[in-house]
């Protein structure tokens, strides 16, 4: 019966929100180590595969294609994720112009840190992504990998500080060549950042660190803000596919956040992302689900009260430890 089919199709159309206009998604203007005006979209697609057991290459390509097709314009990757070739294919398939896409990639941590090591990795980043530049290049992790060729990173005269500084000098070289529009760091705590500041050279444009209601280092956010460093939260939804096997909890099942979302008639994920955005963060939620992508693009109209933010601030992970990924505070 055609009427039944049409009614069903109409119902389906109501269920699925339509693509988001990319021009409506807020961006932040990066400061410090920036070539010209660099606007970073406030939400991006995280693609970290956490030991690569969750996503295969075709899923990565499809996710990137869907993200770009539905209005997303920032993609977060790393050479160590092993997913840059399928990301490049997803970009190509989307037919969105390269100049309209913001790509973040990173050197380390499974690859070695160090000056020449980082330069070699950057060449691989461009090759695998099939691009001539990245919008943002980060040092992925503050600790050196053992297979470095840099005497600042291995050997008698090496130290984590000297290794970070030598790696940062490589990023500065890439930056000055124009092949990275901005450079920054990831997982850098206060003492790691200080090592970069001690060089009296370029200051990072971005620090990308785990951040969500169960793990929010607000003193680090404040420090970065004071230095003009944009704070970028990763695992902003607590990475449920990782937190459940590792920690036994799922942030999106928190009853207080669920109640708040129900009152606002919004999805739980949207409320969590709005909380982080209210703190001045940009976020990279990771998903291959198109409906979730639309939530991750559509939360910017949510305004939380100071009381609601304070309530979320006070939440504690059921298992006591709210950190999903390794803790960079353990790196000297």
Neighbours of 43 (CB within 10 A): 28
Q: Which structure tokens are listed for 327? A: 């803790």
The residues facing 291 across adjacent strands are none
Instruction: Answer yes or no: 295 catalytic.
Output: no
SS3 content of the chain, % helix, strand, coil (to 5): 45, 15, 40
**Which of 65, 81, 275, 277 does the annotation list as catalytic?**
81
Query: 46 with 19: CB under 8 angstroms?
Result: no
Other C-beta atoms lying within 10 Å of the C-beta of residue 329: 14
Burial of 36 (0-12, 13-18, 19+ CB in 10 A): exposed
User: What phi and psi values does residue 326 have, to the nearest 5 degrees?
Assistant: -55, 150
CB 129 within 8 A of CB 160: no
Strand order in the sheet with 45-46: 45-46, 74-76, 102-107, 136-139, 183-186, 206-210, 230-234, 282-284
- Cα three-residue angle 20-285-249, rounded to 5 degrees: 135
Task: Report the catalytic residues.
Answer: 81
């Amino acid at each position: 019966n055609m009427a039944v089919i049409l009614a069903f199709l109409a119902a389906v159309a109501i269920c699925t929100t339509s693509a988001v206009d990319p021009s409506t998604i807020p961006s932040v203007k990066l400061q410090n180590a920036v070539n010209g005006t660099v606007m970073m979209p406030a939400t991006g697609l995280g693609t970290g595969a956490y030991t690569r057991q969750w996503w295969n290459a075709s899923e990565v390509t499809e996710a990137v294609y869907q993200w770009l097709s539905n209005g997303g314009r920032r993609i977060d990757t790393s050479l160590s994720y092993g997913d840059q070739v399928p990301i490049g294919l997803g970009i190509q398939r989307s037919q969105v112009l390269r100049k309209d896409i913001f790509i973040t990639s990173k050197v380390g941590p499974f690859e070695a840190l160090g000056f020449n090591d980082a330069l070699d990795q950057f060449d691989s980043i461009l090759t695998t992504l099939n691009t001539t530049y990245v919008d943002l290049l980060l040092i992925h992790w503050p600790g050196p990998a053992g297979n470095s060729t840099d005497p600042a990173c291995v050997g008698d005269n090496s130290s984590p500080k000297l290794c970070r500084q030598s790696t940062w000098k490589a990023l500065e070289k890439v930056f000055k060549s124009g092949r990275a529009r901005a450079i920054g760091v990831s997982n850098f705590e206060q003492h790691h950042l200080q090592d970069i500041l001690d060089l009296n050279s370029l200051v990072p444009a971005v620090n990308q660190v785990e951040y969500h209601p169960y793990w929010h280092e607000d003193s680090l956010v404040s420090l970065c803000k004071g230095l003009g460093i944009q704070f970028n939260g990763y695992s902003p939804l607590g990475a449920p596919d990782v937190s459940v096997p590792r920690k036994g909890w799922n942030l999106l099942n928190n009853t207080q956040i669920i109640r708040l979302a129900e009152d606002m008639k919004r999805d739980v994920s949207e409320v969590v992302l709005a909380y982080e955005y209210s703190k001045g963060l940009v976020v990279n939620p990771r998903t291959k689900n198109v409906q979730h992508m639309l939530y991750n693009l559509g939360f910017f109209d949510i305004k939380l009260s100071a009381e609601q933010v304070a309530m979320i601030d006070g939440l504690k992970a059921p298992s006591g430890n709210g950190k999903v990924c390794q803790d960079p505070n353990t790196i000297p």
